[in-house]
Copies of this chain bind each other. A is one copy, B any other.
């Protein structure tokens, strides 16, 4: 019986009816390398089944306490059935890229089954008509709830499913996950523990009721320290309003070689800086086109991995921190924007914290579970986020060699991440085998012309490539 950490539980408390907190990885496969050039749905089920022991995420479900009295526990799902987690479908007509983006957006916008282990896979066939994809191409859209996994351990989860060649040699060492068998604890045990945990914390049990009270505000403000004043400088944009349940998705793919070429143009710049610079350039173009470019720089929160070593990635769960970066959207010159970003991030990393990082760690240390739940919901409610930043940009490095599943070669990888009220734009940039996809996740009403923002990303990258 393992209890969720405050940070993992946070993603449950953050979840509202409109903004779900699962992530979705989308991998495209080319079956031409598979035996007989074909992969059936049941082959995929059998393959996943053979890897179930590699991650505890597959078989454990949440045990949530009455009133969220204390953080939930992970328990083995006594009714585990792999087929409950696997869906099978075909892209409807006309089967083009736009249709695919719509199909993924819809799937992503729907809630997961929170009563079972927090993952599911949707095999989407019939992608052969999408420009640039091989005949017979299919996608596997894998959803995992953020409470179960963070960016880095998601990488481990996905890697455990893949092979390094068409013959089926696992991509990584498949040591079974070390986790004690977790049977469901009795209600009494759990309530006693929760009671103890609430009593030991500085705020008393009664604080559970404070969740719905504005009084919690002052405590939160205090925990944020003097940095809170900075918030007034974050400009308001179309992305910083309440977010609807209807998400939209589109993506552009860039070669890592191009990104490295851009990086080399500014001394001391990192790939992460290039990602931020491409995003800054695209946002400038997009907002300028709509006559909405603010004078002040847009502020991005970039989640950073706070794990101490690489080995830790094998233990699922969240070790996330985040930094807040001013994007020089006001600057006209592309290389100048990259230089300004390099200056900012090297400074921020030295300080080793941003507003958001401090908020996260302070709260999870000193506030008991039930109160934290309330604060997380306030944050998710958008009263905080829009005052601290305009968008999320996440950059999770992925494997740089070709991967396979069922003998089919993985040709591209995409990722969708959750939004929150007041923060209606997420740019996720996973990399794979020499390329990086820039995935735009937003709200249908905020970004009705999402393909135009994708085009702005492409132009922004091209501009940096040409700049001297």
Select which of B16, B79, B83, B115 is within 8 A of A111 by beta carbon. B115
Q: Are B110 and A83 in contact (CB under 8 A)?
A: no
Q: A111-B111, A113-B111, A187-B212 are in contact. Are A106 and B79 (CB under 8 A)?
A: no
Q: Which of A243-279 contact B (CB under 8 A)?
A: 244-246
Of listed A106, A191, A211, A245, residue having the most chain B CB within 10 A: A245
Decide yes or no: A18 and B79 within 8 Å by CB, A111-B115, A113-B110, A245-B116 being known contacts: yes
Complexed CA–CA distance, A61 and B18 (Å): 12
CA gap between A83 and B246 in the complex, in Å:
10
Interface size on A, residues (CB 8 A): 30
Closest B residue to A89 by CB, please name it: B89
The residue from B92, B191, B246 contacting A81, defined by CB atoms under 8 A apart: B246
Q: In the complex, which residues of chain B have a beta carbon less than 8 angstroms from the beta carbon of A246? A: 79, 81, 84
Q: How far is the CA of A66 from the CA of B16 in the complex (A)?
A: 13
**A217 interfacial contact with B, CB 8 Å:** no
Contacts of A211 in B (CB 8 A): 66
Asked if A238 lies at the interface with its beta carbon under 8 angstroms from chain B, I say no
CB of A88 within 8 A of chain B?
yes
A376 to B84, CA, bound (A): 26
CA distance A245 to B81 in the complex (A): 9
A7-55 contacts to B, CB under 8 A, are 16-18, 41
Q: Please state if B115 and A17 are interface contacts (CB–CB under 8 Å).
A: yes
Chain A: residues with CB nearer than 8 A to chain B? Answer: 16-18, 41, 61, 66-67, 79, 81, 83-84, 88-90, 92, 106, 109-111, 113-116, 187, 191, 211-212, 244-246
